[in-house]
């Protein structure tokens, strides 16, 4: 994030040039953007699709009756808001755990509540009692419900010693209405703002229908023909993280800006060079400081040129400004494993992973599972054949969502490469002997992968996918052939599995970031 403001219209040319040089030389910042003063953070609930579906199958088996259970949730808090992250659903068995009540229709038994809250306390999770009402698009707690909350939740707060407790009521099935009554440690009581369910689509549920969206502007008319005015509005409210602003990431930034998403956060530590110009649309030779960095220049001039060349995140900023006056941009010229960068990613609605290091994959995978954020990974791979021929070439777009098969489950993170990449710089090349050849990279292949990825993102946020899980897409131009690849999930996975995994842990667990100041 630059500290030097952009040049104003009409500034003298020399002043403009000085400001540009100062910006290129200024150290990067990794501070998260500050919340506008005076705004109270809201509380949202986020849930993986499979858990939400399983909860509704228990609550609404088709008998029209009332059923119940409990959700145990991790918590994420930052200046932009607070999130409950659903990681476990405990069904309450009718007649055993959920029985006729003394003041209301039915009630959870003390034994069930004790079992659930004990588990919540052990795991340091929030406890939410859940039940269903009739109806479709509106839901609220009855006066009997509220009275039972007021009788019981102050004591539960004490029992859980600092963990949030509350209740959620649903109606109308997995895509219906959701309301929540949250009791915070410290005595505040707030209503749940919205529920976000993450599957192939990212669905937003509230306790009542949202007002009709504003009609899309004329410039977005053709987009709204595909996504609807509501879909265009969802994009305009979304924050998208783009990890890597190289050949793939810069295209993602361009496409997302043209879609007029609300906010793009781009993270990349590198600068434009002559060798990557062919893959950076919008980059100029002056961005690579070509007059200094060309091969025939003395080494000292080349080093100076490297310091003056444009940071990739600043190139991304320029593209966004050119494409859209409605999209905010935050650029971090740092590795995604820096604490500030990783923290920013936890505030995103969707992440595009366009960096090709295993450490970036590991970090983003952890954010996705821990904070319940959907993502899509893009890549291009060439398999060498005989001589200088290629045996295979493919461009891939791989969606991955919480609890739907993470990058570790799919064998896409190499523990050995994690060891090599994080070696001190002077040892890295020796540690990676035999594997340091640069992979082939071409802008047209990047466009295939990124086009598929951003199309998936757009359809997901607008709720337009037909399937409940989104397969990966692999295009093999040499054959030619297109394949769909379904993600597989290991239930024992340390990162997205059912046991003691990262899934939905939020702020409770540390992310695999390097220490501040490193």
CB of 255 to other proteins, least distance (A): 31
Site string for other proteins, 205-234 (x = CB under 8 A): ------------------------------
Strand residue runs (E) in 79-206:
81-92, 98-100, 106-108, 126-132, 165-171, 177-183, 189-191, 194-198, 202-205
Euclidean distance between CA atoms 431 and 419, whole angstroms: 9
Closest distance to other proteins from the beta carbon of 100 (Å):
46
The size of the interface with other proteins (CB under 8 A), counted in residues, is: 25
Minimum distance from CB of 50 to other proteins (Å)? 24
Q: Measure the CA–CA gap between 29 and 331, rounded to whole angstroms.
A: 9
User: What DSSP letter does each residue of 263-291 carry, written as one string?
Assistant: EEEEE---B--GGGGGG-TT--GGGGTHH
427 belongs to the binding site for other proteins (CB under 8 A): yes
Question: Contact between 275 and other proteins (CB under 8 A)?
Answer: no
Min separation Cβ 408 and other proteins, Å? 8
Q: Does 336 bind other proteins (CB under 8 A)?
A: no
Binding pattern to other proteins, positions 381-420, x when CB under 8 A? --------------------------------x-xx-xxx
Per CB under 8 A, which region of 92-100, 348-356, 425-433, 480-488 contacts other proteins? 425-433
User: What are the tokens at 504?
Assistant: 């939905």
Backbone angles phi, psi at 286, to 5 degrees: -70, -25
Scan residues 351-380 and list those touching other proteins (CB under 8 A). 359, 362
Residue 418 C-beta: closest distance to other proteins, Å? 4
Q: Does 431 bind other proteins (CB under 8 A)?
A: yes
Distance CA 407, CA 365 (A): 6
430 binds other proteins per the rule CB under 8 A: yes
Which segments within 234-367 are labelled E, that is strand? Answer: 239-243, 263-267, 328-332, 350-353
Q: How far is the CB of 515 from other proteins (least distance, A)?
A: 4
**Least distance to other proteins from the beta carbon of 271, Å?**
22
Range 479-508, binding other proteins (CB under 8 A): 494
Rounded to whole angstroms, how far apart are CA atoms 340 and 154? Answer: 36
> How many C-beta neighbours within 10 Å does residue 512 have?
16
Tell me: does residue 424 bind other proteins (CB under 8 A). yes
CB 399 within 8 A of CB 454: no
Contacts of 449 (CB under 8 A, 6+ apart): 248, 378, 379, 380, 395, 396, 397, 475
Among 433, 466, 467, 480, binds other proteins (CB under 8 A): 433
CA-nearest of 186, 223, 395, 225 to 324 is 223
Q: Which is nearer to other proteins, 62 or 424 (CB)?
A: 424
Closest approach, Cβ 416 to other proteins, in A, equals 5
| List of residues contacting other proteins (CB under 8 A) | 337, 359, 362, 413, 415-416, 418-420, 422-424, 426-427, 430-431, 433, 494, 510, 512-515, 517-518
């Amino acid at each position: 994030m630059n500290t030097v403001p952009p040049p104003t219209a009409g500034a003298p040319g020399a002043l403009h040039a000085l400001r540009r040089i100062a910006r290129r030389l200024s150290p990067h910042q990794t501070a998260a953007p500050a919340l506008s003063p005076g705004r109270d953070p809201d509380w949202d609930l986020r849930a993986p699709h499979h858990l939400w579906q399983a909860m509704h199958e228990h609550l609404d088996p088709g008998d029209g009756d009332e059923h119940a259970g409990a959700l145990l949730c991790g918590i994420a808090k930052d200046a932009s808001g607070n999130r409950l992250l659903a990681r476990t659903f405990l069904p309450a068995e009718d007649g055993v755990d959920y029985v006729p009540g003394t003041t209301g229709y039915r009630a959870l038994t003390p034994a069930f509540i004790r079992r659930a809250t004990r588990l919540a306390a052990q795991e340091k999770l929030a406890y939410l009692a859940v039940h269903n009402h009739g109806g479709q698009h509106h839901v609220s707690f009855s006066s009997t419900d509220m009275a039972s909350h007021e009788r019981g939740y102050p004591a539960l707060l004490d029992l859980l010693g600092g963990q949030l407790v509350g209740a959620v009521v649903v109606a109308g099935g997995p895509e219906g209405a959701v309301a929540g009554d949250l009791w915070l440690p410290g005595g505040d009581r707030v209503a749940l703002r919205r529920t976000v369910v993450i599957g192939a689509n990212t669905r937003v549920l509230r306790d009542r229908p949202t007002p009709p969206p504003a009609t899309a502007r004329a410039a977005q008319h053709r987009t709204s023909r595909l996504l609807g005015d509501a879909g265009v509005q969802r994009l305009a409210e979304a924050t998208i993280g783009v990890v890597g602003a190289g050949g793939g990431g810069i295209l993602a930034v361009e496409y997302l800006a043209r879609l007029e998403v609300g906010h793009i956060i781009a993270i990349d530590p590198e600068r434009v060079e002559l060798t990557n110009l062919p893959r950076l649309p919008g980059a100029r030779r002056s961005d690579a400081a070509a007059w200094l960095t060309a091969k025939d220049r003395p080494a000292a001039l080349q080093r100076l040129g490297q310091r003056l060349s444009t940071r990739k995140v600043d190139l991304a900023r320029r593209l966004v400004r050119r494409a859209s006056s409605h999209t905010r941009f935050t650029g971090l010229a740092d590795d995604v494993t820096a604490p500030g960068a990783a923290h920013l990613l936890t505030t995103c609605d969707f992440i595009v992973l366009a960096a090709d290091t295993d450490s970036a994959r590991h970090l983003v995978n952890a954010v996705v599972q821990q904070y319940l954020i959907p993502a899509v990974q893009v890549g291009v791979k060439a398999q060498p054949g005989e001589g200088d021929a290629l045996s295979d070439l493919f461009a891939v777009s791989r969606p991955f969502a919480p609890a739907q098969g993470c990058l570790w489950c799919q064998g896409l993170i190499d523990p050995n490469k994690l060891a090599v990449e994080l070696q001190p710089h002077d040892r890295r090349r020796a540690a990676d002997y035999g594997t340091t050849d640069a992979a082939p990279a071409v802008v047209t292949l990047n466009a295939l992968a990124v086009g598929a990825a951003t199309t998936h993102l757009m359809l997901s946020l607008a709720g337009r996918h037909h399937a409940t899980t989104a397969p990966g897409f692999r295009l093999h131009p040499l054959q030619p052939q297109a394949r769909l690849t379904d993600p597989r999930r290991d239930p024992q996975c340390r990162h997205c599995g059912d046991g003691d995994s990262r899934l939905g842990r939020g702020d409770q667990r540390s992310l695999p970031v390097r220490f501040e100041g490193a």
